[in-house]
Chains A and B, each alone.
Chain A
């Protein structure tokens, strides 16, 4: 450790202002602070500080995503071999998925962090940790067959247009990872929806067993199918849907894995339990409402099933809870989450164009979050004025 520290101290002068490699200062700092928590001491205000910092916050979110990621890898393999009609052992299944998912993660991080490094240097800032989370979220909301160049383009779009033009992490209006997904969804719709993209290899012309279909549950529901079946025609049980043995974006299928992540976020206090709970509550409320009317398969799908299929759970736990793009007041979080839940089901059920509404619901509420906060603050201001008047 000391040797490493010495090496870093030796390099340091070269990247400081006036040094030959000053253009790498932010990058150097990024790596240095990754290796060592800096020796900065407090100079103003409180002499002691909480040990918690942005790196730890972001890493905690990444850790919370690991169950969904690991399951997604296995699920990728499972559906691939299902489509091929082959039996595969657990590790073989996982390994296949691992190799398919890893490049997407690598591309997402490489492109995103690369851009972050450049912007940090231009602004003469330290590198922000925000992308550690976005970089993992982006692969998890991609279909596994997405071309890597698209991941790269979408990531670049999300980081530059979604975040850096607003001033970087903390200033953005929309969730960057969802911006990336929305970008692909509207720019390359055929690569982001349909029956073929969810199964590894299928979109690239892999030979499948006869009659195999890679459609998601929501797609089947939109087509009006009464029972939802997997690729080879077996009906899904409720457990299949909850555990996530269904086609979908890499990380979104397993409600169980996502709930483990939710537990990590809530226990550590990094994610807002209020948003998670109210999003599910909003979804359930809307689900009950449409159940009461009925009329087609999506309308009659039991409300709880709406919460465990598609991207609902993933969005509620990992996307809606983004503190920057979400509501920032505690009261506002209840409203914000609830409306996401309601809108997600609403779009899902009534908009024939999009089989899944979670992405659009969250992006829409991202835009409205400042408005919600505005009214909460206005309420506070009015209370204070009223108190002053009562005194006078």
Chain B
């Protein structure tokens, strides 16, 4: 094994309800959804009309400002409804599955023998292009860009994160084909970040044409942003792309079969889940297809993704496009008398102001209570302890709050997206909405640049 990059800063939040390493086939979902809200800064232009018949791989909508980027249906069926939110913003397009396997045909073949244009086009047409994200901004990559490098984090350290070494089992071939396709997209390297603490999946260790990097440390070590920062940080004007492991395999399957295969493995976990296990399902499946009759509480929050960065999903909602985990935790809308002075044996805090610090290995069933009101920045040094980057997060956030674009750039906004600062938000005494401030900064900056 090559040199291990050790990361000290960060925080592992130990939650109850980790998924057992068992695969279950999810009962079929009646409907599937493609959700524009899964992609930051996306303005969709709808193609599919209600009641229209679609096949797996048929275009549902595309990016209004980059029409070549298409989003396709995961299944064959009919478009059931288009849900809109405030100001008629499209929340999701719901497709009712008909159980047939009618699918669009895309190009099949060895990506290694295809040109860059062919690979790009195949990804765009199939609707798999949106799995490729770009830094800066954390938005869908632009096909015309030539990224400096492509980064894949082979593991996840977030609370209750799925074990990718388990998920990627038996996906060696798909993963390699995906890597081969990605190789056509960049003249730089493909970096694969691996967890040095555990033996990595064969798909990772046998992969060719990637540069492996080993990391060890608490969350957010598994975040690709942290890994980029340690391997080859992003400078102003540079672009790198990132892809998640399961999405790499999905790309591989596209080139091997010529079909859009939306299969995903999703870990269902959290303190409110009766039997936390891994499910095999399709992208955009109903969340209830795995949570039904499997929850111990009824006043819960269902999250597509992890508790730090995931998105809240209603009972009749659908799992997010690239999410490899669903977490269910209790809602926290209760009052707590004199909570600010109670000893707090069951409260989790990075500060040692709660007695729970004497039991460091305890697992918690944390709920969604904010635990206090929002305040101005007062405490210092909190964020720095959970951000293993050479970045001053409070200064960066303040530059966003005062709309100082130059300062944001100078302080390194290019290097981070929401997930990298999610722990800062978790520990914040002032309950500052760190992630939404950062997204505002990224959006403003992107507007300024275009």
Contact = CB atoms under 8 A, between A and B. Distances in A.
A142 to B, nearest CB: 25
Given A37-B335, A324-B378, A380-B390, A268 B351 contact: yes
Interface stretch (B61-69, B163-171, B300-308): B300-308
A53 B340 contact: yes
Contacts of A129: 375
B381 A272 contact: yes
Given A60-B353, A330-B381, A37 B372 contact: yes
Interface stretch (B40-48, B110-118, B341-349): B341-349
Interface string A351-392: 000000000000000000000010011001101110110010
Contacts of A380: 390-392, 411-412
Contacts of B370: 38, 40-42, 49
A130 interface: yes
A36 B336 contact: yes
A371 to B, nearest CB: 14
Contacts of B391: 380
Contacts of B344: 51
Contact of B233 (A44, A54, A169, A387): A387
Contacts of B347: 51
Nearest to B367: A48
A55 B372 contact: yes
A46 B422 contact: yes
B1 interface: no
A278 to B, nearest CB: 14
B395 interface: yes
A49 B376 contact: no
Given A42-B370, A377-B395, A384-B412, A130 B378 contact: yes
Given A45-B425, A46-B307, A48-B308, A37 B410 contact: no
Contacts of A326: 380
A381 B396 CA distance: 11
A28 B181 CA distance: 62
A41 B369 contact: yes
A102 interface: no
Nearest to A384: B412
A59 B427 CA distance: 18
Interface size class of B (residues with CB under 8 A): 35 or more
A126 interface: yes
A34 B368 CA distance: 20
Contacts of A55: 340, 372
Given A41-B333, A53-B429, A57-B353, A48 B375 contact: no
B335 A59 contact: no
B340 A59 contact: yes
Contacts of B367: 48
Interface in B301-340: 301, 303, 307-310, 312, 327, 329, 331-340
Contacts of A46: 307-309, 422, 425-426, 435
B93 interface: no
Contact of B13 (A48, A128, A269, A387): A48
Question: By CB atoms of chain A within 10 A, which of B369, B374, B378, B433 has the most?
Answer: B378
Contacts of A168: 376
**Which residue, of A49, A54, A376, has the highest number of chain B Cβ atoms within 10 A?**
A49
Contacts of A13: none
Contacts of B334: 39
Contacts of A1: 337
B418 A268 contact: no
B438 to A, nearest CB: 9
B236 interface: yes
Contacts of A330: 381, 384
Given A169-B376, A323-B379, A377 B411 contact: yes
Interface string A239-270: 00000000000000000000000000001111
A170 interface: yes
Contacts of A272: 380-381
A308 B374 CA distance: 39
B434 interface: yes
A244 to B, nearest CB: 26
14 contacts: A37-B340, A37-B369, A38-B370, A38-B373, A39-B332, A45-B435, A46-B309, A49-B426, A52-B353, A169-B378, A270-B379, A328-B394, A329-B380, A333-B381
Given A36-B335, A44-B436, 18 more contacts: A37-B339, A39-B334, A41-B332, A42-B368, A42-B369, A42-B370, A46-B308, A47-B307, A48-B159, A50-B351, A50-B429, A53-B371, A168-B376, A169-B375, A169-B376, A267-B352, A269-B351, A329-B380
